[in-house]
């Protein structure tokens, strides 16, 4: 158990819909990362937050947004969903921003029909 | 930009065989290098790391040495077990802008048979 909690574990929705994925980092970790894992693209970095502020952005689509709240949990919002958004979305956390030692949750599997 | 290239899988081995999974990287500067492992149905876990050239990371019988001259970080294990069956990801830390984010390779699936 990594200590990172993600909900929901599975989500099935239709094209055009909007979903929210939630992540609670390990106790004490200030940095949260979101990654997308798909068969054709592999593991892609989406966005990073540190103590409530956005710190780094990767290949995140404009239809996607995220935020980190004062209690340090984070949400990833995916809107106007397309079939190609079907993937496993991982949240990871770390104690600081200066480390590559990340602790990953078990992921949220999104299926868009 | 920075990138990581791993050997394609799947790699299929018999129990107690020797394992090598190749990983090479392209980076500006001097990144830290990592191997993460993903067991079926789980998230990624850090397996080992190396932070500078010639460092050797090791854990659970796995080893990898940071080779700056060949820009490589190959993963090895002398005798694999069925329980090692998983997907292995090589990664480097991109420290652009002072903030770390990991860049992962495509992953290599390992299947170990009794």
Q: What is the pLDDT of residues B69-110, one digit of tens each?
A: 999 999 999 999 999 999 999 999 877 655 667 889 999 999
Residue B22, judged by CB atoms within 10 A of its CB (0-12, 13-18, 19+), counts as: middle
Q: Considering only CB atoms, which residues of chain B are within 8 Å of chain A?
A: 32, 34, 36, 41-46, 49, 89, 91-93, 95, 97-107
Is the pLDDT at B40 greater than 60? The verdict is yes
pLDDT of res. B96: 63
Pairwise CA distance, residues B94 & B8, whole Å: 23
b/e map of B62-98 (b: 16 or more CB within 10 Å)? bbbbbbeeeebbbbebeebeeebbbbbbbbbbbbeee
Pairwise CA distance, residues A61 & A46, whole Å: 8
Is the pLDDT at A41 greater than 90? The verdict is no
Residue B96 DSSP symbol:
G
* Region of poorest pLDDT, from A93-107, B15-29, B31-45, B65-79: A93-107
Confidence of residue A63 (pLDDT cuts 50, 70, 90): very high
Closest C-alpha to B97, from A45, A29, A57, A51: A57
Compare all CA atoms of chain A with the CA of B33 and give the residue at the minimum distance. Answer: A100
Least CB–CB distance from B99: residue in A2, A56, A92: A56
Give the list of residues 6+ apart from residue A75 with CB closer than 8 angstroms, or none. Answer: A20, A21, A22, A23, A66, A67, A69
Nearest CA to CA, how far is A71 from chain B (Å)? 21
Cβ of residue A60 closer than 8 Å to a chain B Cβ: no
pLDDT of res. A95: 86
pLDDT more than 70, % of chain A: 100
Residue range A51-72: mean pLDDT, rounded? 94
Cβ of residue A75 closer than 8 Å to a chain B Cβ: no
């Amino acid at each position: 158990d990594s200590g990172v909690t993600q909900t929901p574990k599975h989500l099935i929705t239709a094209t055009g819909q909007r979903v929210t994925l939630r992540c609670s980092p390990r106790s004490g970790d200030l940095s949260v990362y979101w990654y997308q894992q798909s068969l054709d693209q592999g593991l892609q970095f989406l966005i990073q937050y540190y103590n409530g502020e956005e710190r780094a952005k990767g290949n995140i689509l404009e239809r996607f947004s995220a935020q980190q709240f004062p209690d340090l949990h984070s949400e990833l919002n995916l809107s106007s969903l397309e079939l190609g958004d079907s993937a496993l979305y991982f949240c990871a956390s770390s104690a600081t921003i200066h480390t590559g030692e990340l602790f990953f949750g078990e992921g949220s599997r999104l299926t868009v029909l | 930009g920075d990138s990581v290239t791993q050997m394609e899988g799947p790699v299929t081995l018999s129990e107690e065989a020797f394992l090598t999974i190749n990983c090479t990287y392209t980076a500006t500067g001097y990144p830290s290098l990592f191997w993460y492992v993903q067991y079926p149905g789980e998230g990624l876990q850090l397996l080992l790391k190396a932070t500078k050239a010639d460092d050797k990371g090791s854990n659970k019988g796995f080893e990898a040495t940071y080779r700056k001259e060949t820009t490589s970080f190959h993963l090895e294990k002398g005798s694999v077990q069925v329980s090692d069956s998983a997907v292995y990801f090589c990664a480097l830390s991109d420290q652009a802008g002072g903030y770390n984010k990991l860049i992962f390779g495509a992953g290599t699936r390992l299947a170990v048979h009794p």
